[in-house]
Amino acid sequence: MKNTFKVVLIVLITTVFILVLSLVFQKDKEKKSNESGGETIVQEKNDLEKAEEFAEEMKPKVEERLHKIDIHNFIKTITFDKGVNINPMGYIIIRGYINGNPEKYDFSASLEYRSKEVGTMTFSPELSYRFKDWDKYKDEPELKENYLKRLSEKEREQYLKDIGEKEK
Protein backbone atom coordinates (compact mmCIF):
# COMPACT_ATOMS: atom_id res chain seq x y z
CA MET A 1 0.00 0.00 0.00
CA LYS A 2 2.87 2.31 0.82
CA ASN A 3 4.47 1.55 -2.54
CA THR A 4 1.24 2.37 -4.35
CA PHE A 5 0.96 5.62 -2.48
CA LYS A 6 4.57 6.51 -3.35
CA VAL A 7 4.00 5.72 -7.04
CA VAL A 8 0.82 7.84 -7.13
CA LEU A 9 2.60 10.67 -5.37
CA ILE A 10 5.56 10.51 -7.75
CA VAL A 11 3.21 10.44 -10.78
CA LEU A 12 1.24 13.38 -9.37
CA ILE A 13 4.37 15.43 -8.65
CA THR A 14 5.79 14.60 -12.09
CA THR A 15 2.51 15.63 -13.77
CA VAL A 16 2.41 18.94 -11.91
CA PHE A 17 6.07 19.55 -12.77
CA ILE A 18 5.44 18.87 -16.47
CA LEU A 19 2.38 21.15 -16.46
CA VAL A 20 4.33 23.97 -14.84
CA LEU A 21 7.19 23.58 -17.31
CA SER A 22 4.82 23.57 -20.28
CA LEU A 23 3.12 26.75 -19.02
CA VAL A 24 6.48 28.46 -18.58
CA PHE A 25 7.58 27.47 -22.08
CA GLN A 26 4.22 28.56 -23.53
CA LYS A 27 4.47 32.00 -21.90
CA ASP A 28 8.06 32.35 -23.09
CA LYS A 29 6.99 31.41 -26.62
CA GLU A 30 4.14 33.99 -26.57
CA LYS A 31 6.52 36.66 -25.31
CA LYS A 32 9.01 35.93 -28.10
CA SER A 33 6.27 35.94 -30.76
CA ASN A 34 5.18 39.43 -29.61
CA GLU A 35 8.70 40.76 -29.95
CA SER A 36 10.39 41.70 -33.18
CA GLY A 37 14.03 42.67 -32.99
CA GLY A 38 13.65 43.61 -29.36
CA GLU A 39 10.60 45.81 -30.06
CA THR A 40 7.05 44.90 -29.12
CA ILE A 41 4.63 44.66 -32.04
CA VAL A 42 1.95 47.39 -31.93
CA GLN A 43 -1.39 46.02 -30.86
CA GLU A 44 -4.35 46.47 -33.20
CA LYS A 45 -6.29 49.69 -32.68
CA ASN A 46 -9.61 49.62 -30.90
CA ASP A 47 -12.87 50.65 -32.60
CA LEU A 48 -12.89 54.18 -31.20
CA GLU A 49 -9.35 54.86 -32.40
CA LYS A 50 -10.26 53.56 -35.86
CA ALA A 51 -13.40 55.73 -35.87
CA GLU A 52 -11.43 58.84 -34.89
CA GLU A 53 -8.88 58.20 -37.65
CA PHE A 54 -11.64 57.67 -40.19
CA ALA A 55 -13.38 60.87 -39.06
CA GLU A 56 -10.17 62.84 -39.65
CA GLU A 57 -9.99 61.43 -43.17
CA MET A 58 -13.63 62.33 -43.84
CA LYS A 59 -13.64 65.92 -42.52
CA PRO A 60 -12.71 67.38 -45.94
CA LYS A 61 -15.69 65.58 -47.48
CA VAL A 62 -17.98 66.99 -44.78
CA GLU A 63 -16.61 70.48 -45.45
CA GLU A 64 -17.16 69.98 -49.17
CA ARG A 65 -20.78 68.94 -48.56
CA LEU A 66 -21.38 71.96 -46.32
CA HIS A 67 -19.99 74.37 -48.91
CA LYS A 68 -22.09 72.72 -51.60
CA ILE A 69 -25.35 73.39 -49.74
CA ASP A 70 -24.25 76.88 -48.70
CA ILE A 71 -25.90 78.66 -51.62
CA HIS A 72 -25.62 82.08 -49.95
CA ASN A 73 -21.89 81.74 -49.12
CA PHE A 74 -22.64 82.12 -45.43
CA ILE A 75 -19.86 79.82 -44.23
CA LYS A 76 -16.64 81.54 -43.28
CA THR A 77 -15.17 78.90 -40.94
CA ILE A 78 -15.97 75.30 -40.05
CA THR A 79 -14.90 73.92 -36.68
CA PHE A 80 -15.18 70.27 -35.68
CA ASP A 81 -15.67 69.15 -32.10
CA LYS A 82 -13.12 66.77 -30.63
CA GLY A 83 -14.00 63.11 -30.47
CA VAL A 84 -16.59 61.01 -32.24
CA ASN A 85 -19.55 58.85 -31.34
CA ILE A 86 -20.42 55.47 -32.78
CA ASN A 87 -24.17 55.00 -32.87
CA PRO A 88 -25.86 51.58 -32.43
CA MET A 89 -26.23 51.25 -36.21
CA GLY A 90 -22.44 51.52 -36.60
CA TYR A 91 -22.33 55.02 -38.06
CA ILE A 92 -19.59 57.32 -36.89
CA ILE A 93 -21.02 60.68 -35.83
CA ILE A 94 -18.97 63.86 -35.87
CA ARG A 95 -20.18 67.25 -34.73
CA GLY A 96 -19.12 70.80 -35.39
CA TYR A 97 -20.22 74.37 -35.88
CA ILE A 98 -20.03 77.20 -38.37
CA ASN A 99 -18.50 80.67 -38.10
CA GLY A 100 -17.35 80.25 -34.52
CA ASN A 101 -20.90 80.01 -33.14
CA PRO A 102 -21.58 76.56 -31.62
CA GLU A 103 -24.80 77.71 -29.94
CA LYS A 104 -26.56 78.78 -33.16
CA TYR A 105 -24.87 77.12 -36.12
CA ASP A 106 -24.09 73.53 -35.15
CA PHE A 107 -24.25 70.43 -37.31
CA SER A 108 -23.60 66.71 -37.18
CA ALA A 109 -22.65 64.27 -39.90
CA SER A 110 -22.94 60.50 -39.95
CA LEU A 111 -20.05 58.78 -41.65
CA GLU A 112 -20.36 55.39 -43.30
CA TYR A 113 -17.19 53.43 -42.64
CA ARG A 114 -17.73 50.65 -45.17
CA SER A 115 -18.61 52.89 -48.12
CA LYS A 116 -16.28 55.71 -47.04
CA GLU A 117 -19.06 58.27 -47.54
CA VAL A 118 -20.76 61.07 -45.66
CA GLY A 119 -24.28 59.92 -44.83
CA THR A 120 -26.96 62.12 -43.38
CA MET A 121 -26.27 65.56 -41.99
CA THR A 122 -28.36 67.47 -39.48
CA PHE A 123 -28.31 71.19 -38.78
CA SER A 124 -29.52 73.47 -36.05
CA PRO A 125 -32.64 75.39 -37.15
CA GLU A 126 -30.67 78.65 -37.45
CA LEU A 127 -28.08 77.04 -39.70
CA SER A 128 -30.72 75.26 -41.73
CA TYR A 129 -32.37 78.59 -42.56
CA ARG A 130 -28.99 79.94 -43.74
CA PHE A 131 -29.03 77.20 -46.39
CA LYS A 132 -32.67 77.74 -47.42
CA ASP A 133 -33.20 78.46 -51.12
CA TRP A 134 -36.09 80.90 -51.03
CA ASP A 135 -36.19 80.98 -54.85
CA LYS A 136 -37.90 77.60 -54.66
CA TYR A 137 -40.79 79.32 -52.87
CA LYS A 138 -41.39 82.21 -55.30
CA ASP A 139 -45.02 81.14 -55.59
CA GLU A 140 -45.35 81.26 -51.81
CA PRO A 141 -43.63 84.48 -50.66
CA GLU A 142 -45.62 84.39 -47.42
CA LEU A 143 -43.41 81.52 -46.19
CA LYS A 144 -40.34 83.73 -46.16
CA GLU A 145 -42.29 86.68 -44.77
CA ASN A 146 -43.70 84.53 -41.96
CA TYR A 147 -40.21 83.37 -41.08
CA LEU A 148 -38.85 86.93 -41.10
CA LYS A 149 -41.73 88.14 -38.91
CA ARG A 150 -40.69 85.67 -36.20
CA LEU A 151 -37.30 87.33 -35.94
CA SER A 152 -36.46 90.46 -34.01
CA GLU A 153 -35.38 93.46 -36.07
CA LYS A 154 -31.72 92.77 -35.31
CA GLU A 155 -32.05 89.05 -36.10
CA ARG A 156 -33.93 89.80 -39.34
CA GLU A 157 -31.26 92.28 -40.41
CA GLN A 158 -28.52 89.73 -39.64
CA TYR A 159 -30.37 86.93 -41.43
CA LEU A 160 -30.85 88.97 -44.59
CA LYS A 161 -27.19 89.97 -44.47
CA ASP A 162 -26.20 86.30 -44.02
CA ILE A 163 -28.12 85.24 -47.13
CA GLY A 164 -26.91 88.20 -49.16
CA GLU A 165 -30.11 90.27 -49.20
CA LYS A 166 -30.93 93.73 -47.98
CA GLU A 167 -33.87 94.83 -45.84
CA LYS A 168 -36.69 96.04 -48.09
* Domain range for 60: 47-130
The verdict on residue 55 lying in a domain is yes
The verdict on residue 140 lying in a domain is no
pLDDT tens-place string over residues 12-71: 788 877 877 677 777 766 666 555 455 444 556 788 899 999 999 999 999 999 999 999
pLDDT tens-place string over residues 115-135: 999 999 999 999 999 999 999
86: nearest Cα among 51, 39, 126: 51
Are 69 and 11 found together in one domain? no
The verdict on residue 162 lying in a domain is no
Are 105 and 64 found together in one domain? yes
pLDDT value of residue 69: 95
DSSP line for the chain: -HHHHHHHHHHHHHHHHHHHHHHHHHHHHHHHHTEETTEEPPPPPPHHHHHHHHHHHHHHHHHHHHHHH-TT---S-EEEPSS-EE-TTS-EEEEEEETT-TTTSEEEEEEETTTTEEEEEEE-HHHHHHT--GGGGTT-HHHHHHHHHHS-HHHHHHHHHHTT----
- Rounded distance between C-alpha atoms, residue 9 and residue 13, angstroms: 6
Are 29 and 87 found together in one domain? no
The verdict on residue 83 lying in a domain is yes
Are 24 and 94 found together in one domain? no
Are 69 and 103 found together in one domain? yes
- Rounded distance between C-alpha atoms, residue 108 and residue 124, angstroms: 9
The verdict on residue 58 lying in a domain is yes
The verdict on residue 150 lying in a domain is no
What's the predicted TM-score (pTM) here? 0.69
Are 18 and 74 found together in one domain? no
If one counts the domains in the chain, the total is 2
Q: What confidence category does residue 8 fall into, taking pLDDT thresholds of 50, 70 and 90?
A: confident
Are 125 and 57 found together in one domain? yes
